[in-house]
Amino acid sequence: MDFGLLFSEFPSLTFDGIALGAIYALISLGYTLVYGVLRLINFAHSEVFMIGTFAALMASSNIMGVKIEDDPLSGGKLILTIVVCLVVAMLTSGIVAVLVEIVAYRRLRKRGATKLATLISAIGVSITLVEAFRIMTDSLPREFPRFFEKSLVAEIAGAQIRNDKLLVIFAAGLMMFVLDRFISKTRIGKGIRAVSQDEQTSVLMGININRVVTVTFLMGGLMAGAAAFFYVLVYENTSFRVGFFLGISAFTAAVLGGIGNIRGALVGGFALGLLEVYGSVLLGTAWKHVIAFTILVLVLLLKPTGLLGESIQQARV
Amino acid sequence: MKKIISVFTAVALALGLSVSLTPAANAACSGKLKIAYQGPLTGSDAALGLNMLRGVQFAVKKSGLDVEVKEVDDQGDPAVAGPIAPSVSQDECIIGLVGPAYSGASRVSLPVYLSAGLPVITPSATNPTLFDFGGKIFHRAVLTDDYQGPALAKLVTNNVKNAKVFIINDASDYSVGLAKLVGFTLGSKVVGKETTPTGTTDFTSTIARIKKSKANAVIFTGYFSQAAVLVKQMRDAGSKAVFAGGDGVLDQQFVKLARKAAEGALLTAPAVPFDSANAKLAKEFKKVMGSDPGVYTTESYDATNFFLEAIKKGNKSRATVLNYIKKNSYKGLSKTLKFDDKGEVAGVDVNGFVIKGGKIVLSGPIK
């Protein structure tokens, strides 16, 4: 138990935890949105994220021509590269998420298959995608070029603020805000909420359920793609199995916040990021999952629906 | 998902085995003789395994003998190695096995090969306890971590003034064992220890600990893919501590992944680089195999040649091959392979390496 280190480094650790939590939160949105609408755990979502990291990599090398050994970019080219990579990663993940729904879930859904059948289908898609990427990448990790030199830009209340993580927090925050507004204000967003409240009634009210489901998967995929780009920007590498640990963490975050609840996923993501960082400082990195999951279990014992309660409508977005 | 996958693999293999088992049992080899290579050919450490596989393939090609190389992919993972070992031991045409590459996988595989009498020469598994699992069939073409651990500690204290060392392991058999030996040699120079299980990508807390400990050297005893992530994050967080690692890190992939952050890293291996053993042969290797030889290519090449030598002398079964390599010696590129009664080689040094200008440079034996 190293309380001394936790207290002396608390501000910096908090900053790092928020940056990690932002990535968790973006991924967990995909789990929570799909659960809210279909009551289904989309196990293939971690692979949607994984494909996003490779899309970002392709965008940087093939579209922007950034080479691994290049010096860090600057000025307009830097901004353009970031935007292009982000957009490509988001679109790719979004499209993949929609395709997964069409290929693996839609038919099962129409035929009224059991939840268990859909779950197996999800696991199947996940394994297929992981193995496909394992074969395509020769099982090797891939490095990501350094877009800009990572440096400390400020020190706020003792917290050392690093530029790449700051960017991630800001951009992720912006996306969460936009998504939140989208769900609460737009017509299709209202549709999503209606379906998650009562599917049959919303169909009777004239909501096109397939459209709602597609948009839900698209939104989840877009967010996972953004998370993927932020991940490679900070950690600068990816591999076919990058989605595994992150997917589990993000899923945990969704449950922690209350699965089916958008703001819950955000709260859960940040909470988990902070818990992992604090916990690993306190007891050692080997213990971080133990700590995070112990707290998850405790929260669920006290409040089985998660921090903010289950399902989208209860959050009253 | 990984767990689920390995359960699936286990079930699939069990089914496959029960079908193929019956006709093959106890039949002597009727076809082509095979030498197997076992190590990670897929998975995140595949680069290291492929280094060795190419050494095996190159040796067989050069020998001109009609011998097949059987690839056994254990992903360096004991959970994968366990279920596949029986299928290897049942193929009577496999008369020798180069590998297993990793110590953890060796522990579960060796008892199976012992009961099948399959002679094994590992080019790279360095955990000192492996004889206890493999007994008479076990041989090793490298020095154990009993030598590497102290050498790694010495390499750091030779190069860092007033060394204060932070030791990190990745919770694997190899890594924990090596970390213990390093720590034992360094004694009071160790200022901190940490375990970061394989798959860890965020080292925030580890780096906070390193900084707090005021360590001027960090020894990581795991493998290259994680080492690259760790050293990059250390440099980004402003840590200037010297980075050092064992043979698990010593791979061109480490330099490729960590780039500038790898510069100046100190590495050890009980291995001899192929081109410093024989530069001309290294060029031929590149031409024939299409890629440069890497870490443990030399040792795999030597181990394979010892088996091939046995075959040339007319030994065509496991028992006679085993007998041959026990009684004879073979002058390889890296060293003369002559195994003692515990299957170990003696009389060689652990080499030190430093990363300079993006290249792994041999700095010589560690004294």
| Contact with chain B for residue A18, Cβ under 8 A | no
pLDDT confidence bin for A125, thresholds 50/70/90: very high
Domain count, chain A: 1
Q: What percent of chain B has pLDDT over 90?
A: 64
Checking if the pLDDT of A8 tops 70, the result is: yes
Q: Which residue has better confidence, B273 or B230?
A: B230
Q: Inter-chain contact B205–A13, Cβ cutoff 8 Å?
A: yes
Q: Which residue has better confidence, A181 or A312?
A: A181
pLDDT confidence bin for A316, thresholds 50/70/90: very low
Q: Which residue has better confidence, A192 or B5?
A: A192
Predicted pLDDT at B343: 92
**Average pLDDT of the residues in A227-242:** 91
Q: Which residue has better confidence, B321 or B7?
A: B321
Rounded Cα distance between A36 and A189, Å, is 12
Contacts of A245 in chain B (CB under 8 A): 199, 201
Nearest chain B residue (CA) to A234: B233
**Average pLDDT of the residues in A289-313:** 78
Predicted pLDDT at B17: 47
| Contact with chain B for residue A46, Cβ under 8 A | yes
Checking if the pLDDT of B256 tops 70, the result is: yes
**Average pLDDT of the residues in B333-338:** 89
- Helix axis angle for A187-197 and A10-38, nearest 10°, is 70
Which member of A5, A134, A245 has the closest CB to residue B42? Answer: A134
Q: Of B5-14, B16-25, B340-349, which range is least confident?
A: B16-25
Among A129, A131, A133, A143, most B C-beta atoms within 10 A, so best to mutate, is A143
**Average pLDDT of the residues in B298-324:** 94
Quick one: CA torsion of B50, B34, B10, A128, rounded to 10 degrees? Answer: 50
Q: What percent of chain A has pLDDT over 90?
A: 43
pLDDT confidence bin for B5, thresholds 50/70/90: low
What residues of chain B have any CB closer than 8 angstroms to a CB in chain A? 1-2, 4-5, 8, 41-44, 46-47, 171, 194-197, 199-206, 208-209, 212, 225, 228-229, 232-233, 236, 238, 253, 256-257, 259
Checking if the pLDDT of A110 tops 60, the result is: yes
* Interface ipTM: 0.80
Q: Which residue has better confidence, A119 or B219?
A: B219
**Average pLDDT of the residues in B244-268:** 90
Contacts of A127 in chain B (CB under 8 A): 1, 4-5, 8
Q: Inter-chain contact B47–A245, Cβ cutoff 8 Å?
A: no
Contacts of A241 in chain B (CB under 8 A): 2, 44
The CATH number of residue A284's host domain is: 1.10.3470
Q: What is the pLDDT of residues A243-256, one digit of tens each?
A: 988 898 899 899 88
Predicted pLDDT at A48: 96
| Contact with chain B for residue A283, Cβ under 8 A | no
Q: Which two tokens stand for residue A118?
A: 């859909």
Q: Could you tell me where the beta strands, DSSP code E, fall in chain A? A: 142-143, 152-156, 159-162, 237-238
Checking if the pLDDT of A109 tops 60, the result is: yes
Q: Inter-chain contact A284–B195, Cβ cutoff 8 Å?
A: yes
Quick one: CA torsion of B174, B179, B184, B188, rounded to 10 degrees? Answer: 180
**Average pLDDT of the residues in A194-202:** 87
pLDDT confidence bin for B170, thresholds 50/70/90: very high
Sorted by where each begins, the domain ranges of chain B are 2-144+276-334, 145-269+350-365
Superfamily (CATH H level) for B145-269+350-365? Response regulator (3.40.50.2300)
Checking if the pLDDT of B233 tops 60, the result is: yes
Q: Which residue has better confidence, A88 or A61?
A: A88
Checking if the pLDDT of B9 tops 60, the result is: no
Judge residue A305's burial from the number of C-beta atoms within 10 Å of its C-beta, 0-12 exposed, 13-18 middle, 19 or more buried: middle
Q: Inter-chain contact A140–B5, Cβ cutoff 8 Å?
A: no
Q: What is the pLDDT of residues B70-101, one digit of tens each?
A: 999 999 899 999 999 999 999 999 999 998 99
Contacts of A283 in chain B (CB under 8 A): none
Contacts of A53 in chain B (CB under 8 A): none
Is A308:A257 a contact under the CB 8 Å cutoff?
yes
Q: Inter-chain contact B200–A9, Cβ cutoff 8 Å?
A: no
Checking if the pLDDT of B297 tops 90, the result is: yes
Predicted pLDDT at B4: 55
The domain defined by B2-144+276-334 folds into Rossmann fold (3.40.50)
Q: Which of B100, B98, B72 is nearest to B13 (CA)?
A: B72
Q: Which residue has better confidence, B61 or A155?
A: B61
Checking if the pLDDT of A196 tops 90, the result is: no
| Contact with chain B for residue A7, Cβ under 8 A | no
Contacts of B8 in chain A (CB under 8 A): 127
Q: Which residue has better confidence, B309 or A113?
A: B309
Q: What is the pLDDT of residues B139-165, one digit of tens each?
A: 999 988 889 999 999 999 999 999 999
Identity (one letter) of the amino acid at A12?
Answer: S
Which member of A5, A69, A239 has the closest CB to residue B209? Answer: A5
| Contact with chain B for residue A134, Cβ under 8 A | yes
Q: Which residue has better confidence, B19 or B146?
A: B146
pLDDT confidence bin for A310, thresholds 50/70/90: low
Q: Could you tell me where the beta strands, DSSP code E, fall in A128-240? A: 142-143, 152-156, 159-162, 237-238
How many angstroms separate the CA of residue B196 from the nearest CA in chain A?
Answer: 5
CB atoms within 10 A of CB B362: 14
Contacts of A242 in chain B (CB under 8 A): 201
Q: Which residue has better confidence, A315 or A83?
A: A83
Predicted pLDDT at A40: 86
